[in-house]
Every structure is written in structure tokens, then in C-alpha cells.
């Protein structure tokens, strides 16, 4: 086309109102992005998903026909507080807002409560944030990880949960996991849950008159038991499996240092939460005496709890739960912070967690160079039916559905068949261990 032709086409375009309108629309799409999108409605979906769980999801419905997103506000211990925070406080504030502006909504929702980074509001933020990413991905026609920069790995390696009541059983169970394709295996020990190997049985030992009679955690017993377990397991399974162990904050300062030092010869992939969040300054002491990798922060909810540990390179893995820190936006920022310092992510799962949170973690995991490992979680067939597109773990790797957004949906009518009873036993409290004199042990 010569210059004369172009001028004539230009004149024709400007002379024809219909053509001009089309051109304006094209320019607007290229320069202003997609048409406005508002949050028209929202609902809280509670379900026990067959009786085992206390799940709370947020569904955000937009002004675009059929376009909605779902997010997880998982908090098994303050479930009804989260429900009220969503229904009474977040939703009335959120309706009518621009669904495109995830970062702005995250920040304004965070400061909306004035006091911030508390666990309940973080759950609320997480649910909103995941639902907004789900919406954005569906609108773009791509999985969320594509919007975070695309895959940097082919699938997400996970670690399995194993243990044994004695050393032989621990070895047999690790070997079962290895045969099922797991390369990373967490090994817990004894009976009694976290802290196992350190419990004085109920009713035994010298106790205060009329006092606590249940199983009692003893730091010295734990410290003298666990290294021997790993020595035995390692001697039987060889150097190949990557072994992990979770202390669940049961140790105090110098004992945490000493356990880390004693486990050094058995080459753990990581030792998890050897200290409670109130005692994190002790990680400096651990670094001075051994190279046992440290995974930290399952119960952290404030970013400044993690920050000094990362920038001083005092830990090796961050252990936050995505639904406890503010969703994909917060998790991606945490991963980005970790990357230049060589610290890795190991987002927490746990048996009470849900498939929406798992998929939120998956999208960050698969797109971040700072990824280290993902804790496994698996669900019964009913949950796969209730949340179609739910992630699947096969031979140690987590796979998403590859569908746009988070990649999973929720069947609300099926969820409603398994209601969540608001009157939880003991208010739904997390159970803490006690020492022989009846004092509480930090979880």
C-alpha cells in the first residue's frame, strides 16, 4: 500500500462511524486491558467433606456471566471466627470492587482491619486472594502458574509422611514409601503424635499429687531417642532417601541446638520447627555448630517473623501455609524474598488442609526457582468428587489439572450434604502436650 492509499483508508475509517467504533474498541483492548470486572456477589461455603474436615471456602462471583473464583480460608481451630470475619467484615467491604486489582485489594484488605497479620485476617485475605487469582486465570484462559511466569519444573516434588512405633517399623515404612516412588520421606517416631520418642507414658513417673496424669513430654528423653532412630534407619535404607523430621516446636533453646548437632551425621533433608516461634534467635546458635538443614515457620503468620531468618541465612526452608499468610500473593512474595538468599520454600500442608490451599501452593511451587519441597496431602474419593480438578500425587509428585485459574471447582450441592457443625468440641481447639509437672508444651 502506497502513501496515497493509506491516506485514503485513513479518511474512510474516520468517515465511517461504525468502523471508527471498532477501531476504538481494538485500541482500548490493547491499551487498557480487559473490560471492567466487579465483584458482584460472594458466599462462604462450609463443609466437613464427609466428616473429617473443617473447611471454609470463599466463592467470589463477578459481573462477567459465569465467571467466579474460589479460595481457601482454612483454619481448623478458629473456624467460626473465620466464617464471621468473611461474612460480616470482608464480603460487605468487597462487593462492588474491581476484581482485576489483586495487589490493591490485598493491601487494602490487609489494612482494612487496622491491626494486621493476625491468623484470622490472614485466612480471610488468603481466601480472597486465591479466588481473585482463580478469576484472573480463568479470564485469561490459563493456569495461575502461567501468570506467575510459567513452569520452572515439570511437576512438584512432595514429601511423604511415615513413622514407626519402633525402629524396625520405621524402616519398613520408609521402605514402603520408597517402593511407592517417594524420594523424600518424613520420619516420626513412637506413639503420642509430635514429640513421639519423648513421651513418658500416662500415669508413669514422679508426678505432682493430684496433677496431670496423661502422657508427658520430656526433652531429654526425646533428645536421647531420636538421633538413634535416624542412625538405625539410615543404616538400613542407605543414603538414597531424603529423610525429614518434624519436632513441632517441642524443644527449648540449647536442646534444639544439640538435637540438630546430633542429627548432622544422618544427612537429613531438613529438620522442621526444632524451635517455637518465640525462640527463633536460637537459630544463630544452631548454624554455629552443624549443617543440619532447618525448615521453619509452620505457625508464622507475620512476614517479619520470617524476614530476619531469611536475610541472615539462618534457615534453609520456609514452612508457611499459604492459607495462613495471605494466599498466592503473599506466598509468591515470600518465595521471591527467599530466592536471592538461597533459602527455599516448603509450603505446609497437614491432614486437615484442603485441596484449594494445596493448589494455591502448587501454582507458586511450580513457577518459583526458590521452591524446595511441598508437604504432601491426599484426599479420599469423596473430596475428589466434591472438588473436581483437585490435585493428584503420583509417585512423589503433585500434579495440577492444567485447567485455567487454580484448576479446580467446588460442587456446592455435594458440599452442602456434609455440613460443618458450628459447635465444635472444645471450640475446635488444637490439642497441646504437657510435661510431667503439668506445664504446657508449645506446639
| Residues contributing to the site for Mg ion (CB under 5 A) | 246, 298
Nearer to Mg ion, 160 or 409 (CB): 160
Nearer to Mg ion, 218 or 298 (CB): 298
Q: Write out the chain in H/E/C secondary structure.
A: CCHHHHHHHHHHHHHCHHHHHHHHHHHHHHHHCCCCCEEEEEEEEEECCCCCCCEEEEEEEECCCCCEEEEECCCCCCHHHHHHHHHHHHHHHHCCCECCCHHHHHHHHHHHCCCCCCHHHHHHHHHHHHHHHHHHHHHHCCEHHHHCCCCCCCCEEEEEEEEECCHHHHHHHHHHHHHCCCCEEEEEECCCCCCCCCEECCCCCCCCCCCCCCCEECHHHHHHHHHHHHHHHHHHHCCCCEEEEECCCCECHHHHHHHHHHHHHHCCCEEECCECHHHHHHHHHHHHHCCCCEEECCCCCCHHHHHHHHHCCCCCEECCCHHHHCHHHHHHHHHHHHHHHCCEECCCCCCCCCHHHHHHHHHHHHHCCCECCEECCCCCHHHHHHCCCCCEEECCEEECCCCCECCCCCCHHHHHCCCCCCCCHHHHCCCCCECCCCCECCC
Q: Which residues are catalytic?
A: 194, 248
Nearer to Mg ion, 246 or 316 (CB): 246
CB of 272 to Mg ion, least distance (A): 5
Buried b (16+ CB within 10 A) or exposed e, 176-186: ebbeeebbbbb
CB atoms within 10 A of CB 49: 21
Nearer to Mg ion, 138 or 321 (CB): 321
CB of 105 to Mg ion, least distance (A): 30
Nearer to Mg ion, 171 or 299 (CB): 299
CB of 35 to Mg ion, least distance (A): 44
CB atoms within 10 A of CB 1: 7
CB of 359 to Mg ion, least distance (A): 20
Nearer to Mg ion, 80 or 433 (CB): 433
Parallel/antiparallel/unpaired status of strands 242-246 and 184-189: parallel
CB of 191 to Mg ion, least distance (A): 18
Q: Is residue 91 within 8 Å of 42, Cβ to Cβ?
A: yes
CB of 194 to Mg ion, least distance (A): 8
Nearer to Mg ion, 276 or 387 (CB): 276
Handedness of CA 115, 121, 126, 127 (dihedral sign): negative
Nearer to Mg ion, 306 or 329 (CB): 306
Nearer to Mg ion, 218 or 246 (CB): 246
CB atoms within 10 A of CB 76: 19
CB atoms within 10 A of CB 22: 11
Amino acid at each position: 500500500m502506497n502513501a496515497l492509499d493509506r491516506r485514503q483508508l485513513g479518511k474512510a475509517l474516520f468517515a465511517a462511524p461504525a468502523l471508527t467504533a471498532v477501531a476504538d474498541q481494538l485500541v482500548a483492548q490493547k491499551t487498557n486491558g480487559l473490560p471492567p470486572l466487579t465483584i458482584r456477589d460472594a458466599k462462604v461455603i462450609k463443609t466437613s467433606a464427609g466428616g473429617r474436615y473443617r473447611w471454609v471456602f470463599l466463592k467470589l462471583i463477578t459481573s462477567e456471566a459465569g465467571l467466579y473464583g474460589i479460595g481457601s480460608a482454612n483454619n481448623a481451630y478458629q473456624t467460626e471466627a473465620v466464617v464471621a470475619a468473611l461474612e460480616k467484615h470482608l464480603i460487605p467491604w468487597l462487593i462492588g470492587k474491581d476484581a482485576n486489582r489483586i495487589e490493591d485489594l490485598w493491601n487494602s484488605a490487609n489494612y482494612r482491619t487496622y491491626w494486621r497479620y493476625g491468623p484470622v485476617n490472614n485466612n480471610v485475605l488468603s481466601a480472597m486472594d486465591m479466588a481473585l487469582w482463580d478469576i484472573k486465570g480463568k479470564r485469561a484462559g490459563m493456569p495461575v502458574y502461567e501468570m506467575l511466569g510459567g513452569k520452572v519444573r515439570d511437576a512438584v516434588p512432595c514429601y511423604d509422611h511415615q513413622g514407626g512405633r519402633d525402629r524396625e517399623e520405621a524402616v519398613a515404612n520408609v521402605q514402603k514409601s520408597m517402593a511407592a516412588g517417594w524420594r523424600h520421606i518424613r520420619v516420626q517416631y513412637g506413639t503420642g503424635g509430635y514429640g513421639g520418642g519423648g513421651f513418658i507414658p500416662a500415669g508413669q513417673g514422679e508426678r505432682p499429687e493430684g496433677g496431670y496424669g496423661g502422657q508427658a513430654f520430656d526433652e531429654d528423653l526425646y533428645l536421647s531417642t531420636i538421633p538413634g532412630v535416624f542412625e538405625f534407619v539410615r543404616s538400613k535404607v542407605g543414603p538414597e532417601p531424603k529423610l525429614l523430621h518434624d519436632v513441632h516446636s517441642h524443644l527449648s533453646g540449647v536442646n534444639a541446638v544439640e538435637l540438630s548437632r546430633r542429627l548432622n551425621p544422618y544427612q537429613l533433608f531438613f529438620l522442621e520447627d526444632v524451635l517455637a516461634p518465640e525462640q527463633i534467635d536460637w537459630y544463630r546458635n544452631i548454624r554455629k555448630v552443624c549443617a543440619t538443614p532447618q525448615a521453619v515457620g509452620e505457625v508464622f503468620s507475620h512476614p517479619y517473623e520470617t524476614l530476619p531468618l531469611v536475610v541472615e541465612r539462618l534457615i534453609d526452608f520456609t514452612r508457611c501455609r499459604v492459607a495462613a499468610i495471605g494466599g498466592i500473593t503473599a506466598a509468591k512474595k515470600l518465595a521471591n524474598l527467599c530466592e536471592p538468599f538461597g533459602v527455599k520454600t516448603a509450603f505446609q500442608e497437614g491432614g486437615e488442609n484442603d485441596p484449594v490451599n494445596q493448589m494455591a501452593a502448587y501454582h507458586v511451587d511450580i513457577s518459583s526457582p526458590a521452591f524446595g519441597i511441598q508437604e504432601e496431602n491426599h484426599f479420599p474419593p469423596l473430596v475428589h468428587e466434591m472438588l473436581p480438578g483437585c490435585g493428584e500425587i503420583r509417585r512423589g509428585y503433585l500434579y495440577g489439572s492444567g485447567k485455567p485459574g487454580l484448576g479446580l471447582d467446588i460442587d456446592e450441592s455435594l458440599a452442602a450434604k456434609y455440613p460443618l457443625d458450628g459447635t465444635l468440641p472444645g471450640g475446635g481447639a488444637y490439642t497441646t502436650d504437657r510435661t510431667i509437672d503439668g506445664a504446657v508444651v508449645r506446639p
